[in-house]
């Protein structure tokens, strides 16, 4: 996928972390680093100001904790539940967090993949 087609797909798709235990001030927009049709995704979020609850993230990290996500595709929202596979605060100032998720069981995951690939 070219950079231009990725930008178009990104405009058609917005993915947010929407988990009341982790998000201090409401849904947090996520940037997709990679996404697979099988359900695995690497997602990045800015954590400045501190939008994530670090103690909760550390407590549940690497435990397969269910995460609530919302995908906005073409103006419609889709609620998704995925399993947290890994999380890491990046950088010395912890201003970005990386989440690896497994959305294998999410029935609407194919719609997210299609929107990301620009096919929706």
DSSP for 23-66, please give it. Answer: BSSS-EEEEEEEE-TTSEEEEEEE-SS--B-HHHHHHHTTTT-E
Mean pLDDT of 101-111: 92
Residue 19 pLDDT > 50: yes
Specify the pTM: 0.79
Residue 116 pLDDT > 70: yes
Is CATH 2.40.10.220 the right assignment for the domain spanning 3-116? yes
Calpha distance 62→40 (Å, rounded): 14
If one compares 32 and 86, the residue with the highest pLDDT of the two is 32
Can you give the pLDDT at residue 49? 60
Q: Where are the domains positioned within the chain?
A: 3-116
Per residue in 57-99, pLDDT tens? 666 665 678 889 999 998 899 999 999 888 877 655 567 888 8
- Grouping H, G, I as helix, E, B as strand and the rest as coil, residue 49 is coil
């Amino acid at each position: 996928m070219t950079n231009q087609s990725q930008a178009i797909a990104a405009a058609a798709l917005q993915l947010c972390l929407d988990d009341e235990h982790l998000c201090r001030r409401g849904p947090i927009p996520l940037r997709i680093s990679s996404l697979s049709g099988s359900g695995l995704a690497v997602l990045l979020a800015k954590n400045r100001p501190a939008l994530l609850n670090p103690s909760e993230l550390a407590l549940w990290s690497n435990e397969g904790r269910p995460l609530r996500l919302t995908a906005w595709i073409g103006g419609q929202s889709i609620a998704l539940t995925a399993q947290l596979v890994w999380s890491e605060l990046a950088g010395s100032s912890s201003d970005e967090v990386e989440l690896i998720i497994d959305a294998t069981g999410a029935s609407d995951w194919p719609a997210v993949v299609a929107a990301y690939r620009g096919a929706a």
